Chain A
Amino acid sequence: MIGLVVVSHSRRLAEGVAELAGQMAPDVRIAPSGGDGSGGLGTDYAAVAEAISRADSGGGVVVLYDLGSARMVAEMAAEEAGTPVVVADAPLVEGAVAAAVAAQGGASADEVAAAARAAYHAGATPAFAAPDTDPLAGAAGDAEVPAPSTEDAVRSDVVLTNDVGLHARPAALVARALAGLDARVLVRYGEQEADAASVLALMGLGAPGGARVEVVATGPDAAEAVRRVSALAARNFDE
């Protein structure tokens, strides 16, 4: 399983981000490295190198960083590390959460880094917006998979009977349950829809406990995908 390192100029920021990401990914090793090593703000090359070995369980490590100079330190440490390391150019908080969930789902280092980078665009978007009014449409290199067409989709209404609705942990469970399936799954709530593979997008729906959402899936594993999401909801997301 891929490990994560969170590099920040601030020790408390690194630790807080690691804590937040760890909540969604209980089995992923997440090592924070923050501060200059003597209580001040900054980055410490030796500490970053050490965090990389702590996070590694043999499969490699993805590093997230806050400011540009932390990136340079991370890249130097990556070059010297005895394990494959990918430094992800991603927003720190959302990127770490997305990366942790991807790692928990068994993704490769490149996939974990890609999940972190994609967190830039992960907010839920209005379901029926015309493409050219979508603020994210046309963003560089964003080859979006087309939404499922209405004919061949498998769909199901699901009531969120748990207390918190599609909050962090349930959203992570949904995304994780779908990992490995060959299906494109959307969750719709009111006027909003979210890619069910993205924890952040799911959370962005803001669907509270008691809400009714629609799960729409296409692809070879569409039926299985809808079944898994419905089963999770039926179990109250194991709350």
Chain B
Amino acid sequence: MGCGADEVVAALRAAAVVVAEHREELVRLDRAIGDGDHGENLHRGFSAVVSKLDGSAPATPGAVLKLAATTLISTVGGAAGPLYGTAFLRAATAVGDAPELDAALVAGALRAALEGVVARGKAVVGDKTMVDALTPAVTAAEDVAEGGVDVAAVLAAAAGAAEEGARSTEPLVARKGRASYLGERSAGHLDPGAWSTSLLLRSFAGGAR
């Protein structure tokens, strides 16, 4: 099965459902080391993406991702708004106007998304941010994409690595974002942005939970 605009739309709708289901959890995580709005921010953003997609369905995967990006930028707020917005924007640019995504394009889009997040937020692995989830996800996606697998397998590999990366943030002391103001007290909690990255990739992979 190919991955055209309709499948990307479906993935974003699935992401919105997952974000809604995990809203409280993300709020709780962000309350521990931030200001408690991460779940609300993403819920607002992905709900807006869904209503945009209800109104108009762009013709290519890239155009769908671009619509998601601009919607997230103007609705999410917080640090996650510019970061996820930039991620989706770079992913959209990376896939260009290809009518269908294959494994290599998806891995390339994830790579571009990571580069966008790093350019915007200047975080490196170990700073206790979404970069800690996205970085291993990209590496895993690229590894399996080389083996000539399908898009689902690339996303599954990315989701698995992202979850592991997100869990690795628990003992870390935050060095970027709002949590960094807590210093040592940020240790012992999962980073909300890393966790939402893991959830989003899991939902894209179709194994949402």
Contacts and interface: CB of A to CB of B under 8 A. Distances in A.
Interface in A1-58: 36, 41-46
Interface stretch (A69-77, A126-134, A157-165, A221-229): A69-77
B178 A69 contact: yes
A69 B176 contact: no
Contact of B74 (A45, A67, A68, A75): A45
B83 interface: yes
A76 B86 contact: yes
B85 to A, nearest CB: 7
Contact of A46 (B74, B120, B121, B178): B74
B82 interface: yes
Interface residues of B, number: 17
Interface string B65-78: 00000000110011
A145 B138 CA distance: 49
Q: What is the predominant secondary structure among interface residues of chain B facing chain A?
A: helix
Contact of A76 (B73, B77, B177): B73
B82 A73 contact: yes
B17 interface: no
B118 interface: no
B61 interface: no
B78 to A, nearest CB: 5
A103 B176 CA distance: 31
B40 to A, nearest CB: 10
B120 A69 contact: no
B77 A42 contact: yes
B144 to A, nearest CB: 31
A44 B74 CA distance: 7
B176 to A, nearest CB: 7
B81 A73 contact: yes
A68 B176 contact: yes
B37 interface: yes
Nearest to B121: A72
A42 B78 contact: yes
A2 B78 CA distance: 28
A42 B37 contact: yes
A23 B115 CA distance: 42
B73 A72 contact: no
B105 interface: no
B37 A45 contact: no
A69 B74 contact: no
A42 B37 CA distance: 10
Interface of A: 36, 41-46, 67-69, 72-73, 75-76
Top 4 A-B pairs, shortest CB-CB distance: A69-B79, A72-B82, A42-B77, A36-B77
Interface of B: 35, 37, 73-74, 77-79, 81-83, 85-86, 120-121, 176-178
12 contacts: A42-B77, A44-B74, A44-B77, A45-B81, A45-B82, A46-B74, A68-B79, A68-B177, A68-B178, A72-B79, A72-B121, A73-B81
Given A43-B78, A69-B178, 9 more contacts: A41-B35, A44-B74, A45-B85, A67-B178, A68-B79, A68-B176, A72-B82, A75-B82, A76-B120
